[in-house]
Amino acid sequence: MPDLTGLIETWGYVAVLLVVVFGNIGVPVPEETVLVVAGYLVWVGRLRWPPLLAVGIASAVIGDNIGYWIGRRFGRTGLKRLAPRLGIERLARAERFVAHYGVVAVFVARFVVGLRVLAGPLAGAIGLPFGRFFVANLCGAVLFVPYAVGIGYAIAYGLGRYVERIHHVLGGVERVALIVVAVLVAWFLVRHILWPRLHRLPDRLTRMHKA
């Protein structure tokens, strides 16, 4: 993973703009991570909320719009070129989802890794009207960008002092952010999903034995 912290500190909002635009077009760059790191840098004081949110939302909308017009221009023929990389079955499921739910799918796709980069080209390829696509795309970006940036800010607000200490050891805020997010997700899964199931397991085995 590139040093996103150094990239953003050097190029500022331009780095956020380019990474998010290319990420929404389909280029394999860590767009979610750059928004999380940017949120962390807001807390540090190296970036500011209003321009960051404006740049993030604008770049997300621009990237998806480019994807839409690529799909509109090349249609399903262009999508078939993605099949070897994404898998025919995965691409077919995404196409059915967008075709069935339309603007709702475009909105939801903003929050789903992998589906986000397909929503624009698929919407254009199946002929979803641009006006409806644009509104759904804009609404999704308006909610997703503050959400992603907010994660980075929340991590910094709650754990910023510890992250800064670990940063000197690991050499990258984005790595620390990903580690913290992974630990929190793992704790949530164990605490709220795995542990309750294990707790109910003896009762299930008892009922099965009696049956």
Mean pLDDT in order along the chain per 10 residues (211 residues): 68 90 79 86 90 96 93 78 66 88 92 85 92 96 93 79 58 54 57 59 54 57
What confidence score (pLDDT) does residue 206 get?
Answer: 54
Range of the domain at 52: 4-170
Domain count, the chain: 1
30 belongs to a structural domain: yes
What confidence score (pLDDT) does residue 88 get?
Answer: 75
177 belongs to a structural domain: no
Distances in whole angstroms, Cα of residue 197 to Cα of each of 183, 190, 206, 210: 20, 10, 14, 20
Helix (H, G, I), strand (E, B) or coil at 74: helix
52 belongs to a structural domain: yes
What confidence score (pLDDT) does residue 27 get?
Answer: 75
What confidence score (pLDDT) does residue 94 get?
Answer: 86
Q: Which H/E stretch holds residue 177?
A: helix 173-189
What confidence score (pLDDT) does residue 177 get?
Answer: 57
What confidence score (pLDDT) does residue 49 get?
Answer: 94
CA-CA-CA-CA torsion sign (16, 162, 50, 9): negative
Q: 89 CB contacts (<8 Å, ≥6 apart)?
A: none
What confidence score (pLDDT) does residue 1 get?
Answer: 43
187 belongs to a structural domain: no
138 belongs to a structural domain: yes
42 contacts 8 by C-beta, under 8 angstroms: no
110 belongs to a structural domain: yes
196 belongs to a structural domain: no
